[in-house]
Structure 1
Amino acid sequence: MNDEPRFLVPAVVFVALVVAVVGSLGAPLITAVADQYDVSLAASQWTLTIPLLSGAVATPVLGRLGSGPHRRRVVLTTLGLVVLGSTLTVVPLPFAVLLIGRAAQGTGLGLTALMMATATDHLGERRAASTIALLSVASTAGIGVGYPLAGALTDAAGIRAAYGLGLVVTALAFVAAFVVLPQAPPRPGRRVDVPGAALLTAGLLALLVVISQTELWRDHPAWTAVILAGALLLLAVWVVVETRVAHPLIDIRLLRHPAVAGANLVMFTGGIGMYLLLGLITRYVQTPASTGYGFGLNTFEAGLVLVPFSVAGFAAGKLLPRLHVSPRTRLAASATTVLVAFVLFALSRAHLAGPVVAMTVLGLGVGAFAASMPAVILAVTPKSETASAMSVNQVVRSIGFSIGSALTGIILAAHTTAQFPTEPAYATAAWTGAAITAATVVLTLGVLRRS
């Protein structure tokens, strides 16, 4: 387009990358937070869980608000909330305030879908497609970008320095959006379905809490089953409500399209496998060598292991759209690449090079998978529904990631005899993830035939 705003592509990619980095910033800091605030590791784990929860809840609401003419205002307001949350993580206040800040930061995870809608509205078709692919990669592969920096800052100056990094980059993202982001094209405003939003929020919160808190399954299995059943009931009621209101939060009819439904199912199972292997490798390389396996890497060194993941992911996301093959074929090839990464880790862990190579191959698969997914959905989605359709896919991805993380913890905990899991536990978890990923490949091929 001739009227393409200057620096739009780098600005929207920067915003997506920042919210991904800030959302995952808690992962390498869990032990340091527990020491700093004198809380248990289980309590400290909430600094990672809470932004994922708030992001999953905020994503569909922001997707609907961002589908109307007020997208710029929605983006700036959300980024302002993220900056405020980042400030709360830096100031020396009680642990509860840190959690509030992390929850506010998590709302930014819903902005990726709005950046995709911005690209759709203001870029030519081919440039928009490549930008949307890159945005999807940034929201996934970007997870590893902040790890080494956060680890280095924590080791050098404490956790407030690491959270200070989040404050700086979110402030820069706000400035970039304020200067570059254009107004959305004129179109009818979309009212938010408040009852639907409330039902979806309650259902997702209950579901994700059950998924992410593995100790609930161990210590309170009956209550866990009740909460899970309640979550599924709320989500079922939400579906019924959405089919009967004039202005639904999410157009259920759109989600029923075979291509969209199939893509979301593939995203769900694929997300489980991807995050399972990411967690496995990260934990394995940090395990002290005195256990008979592992390499005893510190926070910073373990963060460096994730650098090849992000680099390979961004490279795959940048190059893949140039290949003249269908997005569904790319999805199948990408899932197969993730499967190869699982096999590599399952068979070759004795030397550090094995996990690093597996992490690199995983990055290639994740980057290619993330770059291919939007094209499958947007090919059958009205332009005005870009933000809403992609927000649903982002929520499905978050649920898959949460299950993958929980599954890692459950398998390793089941094989823990002392402080650390036994070495064969990692092989069990790796082959479990390989089976899930193989199922993803089969599902993708099924989508290929039917869509």
Structure 2
Amino acid sequence: MTERTPERTPERTPERSEPRLLVPALLFIALVVAAVASLGTPLITSVATTFHVSLDSAQWALTVALLSGAVATPVLGRLGAGPHRRATILATLAIVVVGSALTVLPLPFAGLLVGRAAQGVGLGLTALMMGVARDHLPEERGTATIALISVVSIIGAGVGYPLTALLAEIGGVRAAYGFGLFVTAVAFLTAWRSIPAAPEGRSAHVTVAGALVLAGGLFLVLFLAGQRSLWSRHLAVAVILAVVAVLLLCVWTASELRSKAPLVDVRAVRHPAVAGANIAMFVGGSGMYLLLTLITRYAQTPHSAGYGFGLTTFVAGLVLVPFSVLGFVAGRLTPRVRTLIDAPVLLAGSAAIVGGGFVLFAAARSNLAELLVAMGVLGFGVGSFSAAMPGVILAVTPKSETSSAMSFNYVVRSVGYSLGSATGGLVLAAGTDTGRLFPNDHAYTTAALFGIAAMAVTALVAAALTRRRPREINPTAAVALAHECLRVGVEPCACRTDPP
């Protein structure tokens, strides 16, 4: 009985005091951390020339941010489920601001990598923004806000890409990273003024050993996914590291199942709805990132290759504008459609839309307008998919576990994105003739076929979730069961939503 009153009070307070400030703040912070973490994408060439390193080394300016984000996300998700969520958000943004400052200071390349790693930690804040929205907004508005947070966390790359590329062309790489410092400082001040404290009566405990084991496993998985040369030149080493990664993740899973305070509620992850949603996120994420990579790379390929448009970094960044705009439109529309169509159906439909983008790219890419159309279709599909995904997971997740559950989903997404990037690189490398710098045109078609297959699998997984929904995703029954558990003094179980 003592935990029921704190759960209700914070949900009504923000509605009266500052709803206009809270929602824009949550969206802005999610957008900033996503955009800043992706700053390495358009700046790889500039980093290589500024710091006099190879392109492979400069690639780490992006990779290290994604790695640190994937490692930090589950830890921040667990901390965000406890009473110190506001402090966790502010401390994380402070780390991002310090990291942004390191990227601007005249430090050697190692200093830049440290700063980029600190910036990547901010990726773990997306799930915490969702937890704040679910706790402090009315249900309908909170659902719509969570969907938009999910969308802006993806389109953030498209927002930051053209601007940072332009700044890099005008003032160099330091100017581009200076933009990151400015927006992260604004995000910190926004969070300081707008983020409320977490509801009372919650607790969160992070087992350091478990967090380190998970961090090691995720690091190896993402590292191996991004190091194509390691697989081609040192296959034995790559295989050994892959085995070590699997063992670490297995050890972590076993320890989480025995722990009374797990970093991630693995039992809840085994729920058919949650497991299916994460599978769809993994496979679908790999396909989505694959098409994004293919289109941007194709647009920048010089005419001398026999195809491509030879766009500069800035103009190539503008190709992402349809992706961002239509992604945001889809994110706004999806919560309304969600009142008529179940979230798993939306996932399946969104996967089909992304698959349509692959078909367009495979069949028609002879002029820039066709690439823009394919990018727009991709953006709409990704926006709809991202907005529908939280609905599947949160329908069977208690409010107190929102940050943790969505953090795990975002880790799965990161691994899927890395797999998509690696798959695209491997297929294009296989289609590059000896002595040539650029792959053959048909290699892009082959890669698109892989993407079509991935989105077909995603649609099938989502369709399977639809068939299970009537019994296992029942929010009304979940609330009734939770109240009954509280009445008899038993902790509500996130793994079951149908009444006994």
User: Which TM-score band (shorter chain)?
Assistant: over 0.9
Equivalent of 1:401 in 396, 409, 417: 417
Question: Counterparts of 2:76 and 2:403 in 1: how far apart (Å)?
Answer: 8
Equivalent of 1:211 in 219, 225, 231: 225
Question: What residue is the counterpart of 2:396 in the other structure?
Answer: 380
2:256 equivalent to 1:242? yes
Question: What residue is the counterpart of 1:42 in the other structure?
Answer: 56
Question: Counterparts of 1:345 and 1:139 in 2: how far apart (Å)?
Answer: 24
2:377 equivalent to 1:367? no
Question: What residue is the counterpart of 1:301 in the other structure?
Answer: 315
2:143 equivalent to 1:154? no
Question: Counterparts of 2:348 and 2:180 in 1: how far apart (Å)?
Answer: 35
For residue 256 of structure 1, report the CA deviation from its aligned partner.
0.7
2:36 equivalent to 1:30? no
Task: Assess if the C-alpha contact under 8 Å between 2:81 and 2:202 holds in 1.
Answer: no
1:303-345 per-position Cα deviation (integer Å, ceiling 9, x unaligned) = 0000110010011001111012111111111000000000000
TM-score of the two chains, using structure 2 as the length reference: 0.89
Task: Assess if the C-alpha contact under 8 Å between 2:12 and 2:136 holds in 1.
Answer: no
Question: What residue is the counterpart of 1:287 in the other structure?
Answer: 301
2:456 equivalent to 1:438? yes
Question: What residue is the counterpart of 2:405 in the other structure?
Answer: 389
Q: Secondary structure at the match of 2:258?
A: coil
Instruction: Note the 1:114-263 alignment, pairs <5 A.
Output: 114-263=128-277
For residue 361 of structure 1, report the CA deviation from its aligned partner.
0.2
Question: What residue is the counterpart of 1:19 in the other structure?
Answer: 33
Q: Which amino acid aligns with 1:397?
A: R
Equivalent of 1:355 in 356, 366, 371: 371
Equivalent of 2:430 in 405, 414, 434: 414
Q: Which amino acid aligns with 1:276?
A: L
For residue 18 of structure 1, report the CA deviation from its aligned partner.
0.3
1:169-220 per-position Cα deviation (integer Å, ceiling 9, x unaligned) = 1000000000111111112321111121111011101111001111111111
Question: What residue is the counterpart of 1:3 in the other structure?
Answer: 13
For residue 3 of structure 1, report the CA deviation from its aligned partner.
2.1
Structure 1 stretch 7-16 or stretch 321-330: which is displaced more? 321-330
Cα 1:2–1:234, aligned 2, differ >3 Å: closer, same or farther?
A: closer
2:320 equivalent to 1:310? no
Question: What residue is the counterpart of 1:339 in the other structure?
Answer: 355
Question: Counterparts of 2:63 and 2:221 in 1: how far apart (Å)?
Answer: 13
For residue 2 of structure 1, report the CA deviation from its aligned partner.
4.8
Question: Counterparts of 1:103 and 1:445 in 2: how far apart (Å)?
Answer: 38
Q: Which amino acid aligns with 1:299?
A: T
For residue 438 of structure 1, report the CA deviation from its aligned partner.
1.0
2:288 equivalent to 1:274? yes
Question: Counterparts of 2:349 and 2:255 in 1: how far apart (Å)?
Answer: 38
Question: Counterparts of 1:193 and 1:199 in 2: how far apart (Å)?
Answer: 10
For residue 416 of structure 1, report the CA deviation from its aligned partner.
1.4
2:340 equivalent to 1:330? no
Question: Counterparts of 1:245 and 1:343 in 2: how far apart (Å)?
Answer: 46
Q: Secondary structure at the match of 1:189?
A: coil
1:8-59 per-position Cα deviation (integer Å, ceiling 9, x unaligned) = 0000100000000001110010011001000000000000100100000000
Question: What residue is the counterpart of 1:104 in the other structure?
Answer: 118
2:77 equivalent to 1:77? no
2:104 equivalent to 1:90? yes
For residue 450 of structure 1, report the CA deviation from its aligned partner.
2.5
2:338 equivalent to 1:320? no
RMSD: 0.8
For residue 410 of structure 1, report the CA deviation from its aligned partner.
0.7
Question: Counterparts of 1:444 and 1:217 in 2: how far apart (Å)?
Answer: 32
Structure 1 stretch 431-440 or stretch 376-385: which is displaced more? 431-440
Q: Secondary structure at the match of 1:3?
A: helix
Largest Rg, 1 or 2: 2
Question: Counterparts of 2:395 and 2:115 in 1: how far apart (Å)?
Answer: 37
Question: Counterparts of 2:174 and 2:463 in 1: how far apart (Å)?
Answer: 47
Q: Structure 1: which 5+ residue stretches go unaligned?
A: none
Q: Secondary structure at the match of 1:243?
A: helix
Question: Counterparts of 1:44 and 1:241 in 2: how far apart (Å)?
Answer: 37
Structure 1 stretch 419-428 or stretch 338-347: which is displaced more? 419-428
2:72 equivalent to 1:54? no
For residue 354 of structure 1, report the CA deviation from its aligned partner.
1.0
Structure 1 runs (4+) deviating above 3 angstroms are none
Q: Which amino acid aligns with 1:41?
A: L
1:247-286 per-position Cα deviation (integer Å, ceiling 9, x unaligned) = 1111111111000000000000000000000000000000
Q: Structure 2: which 5+ residue stretches go unaligned?
A: 1-10, 470-500
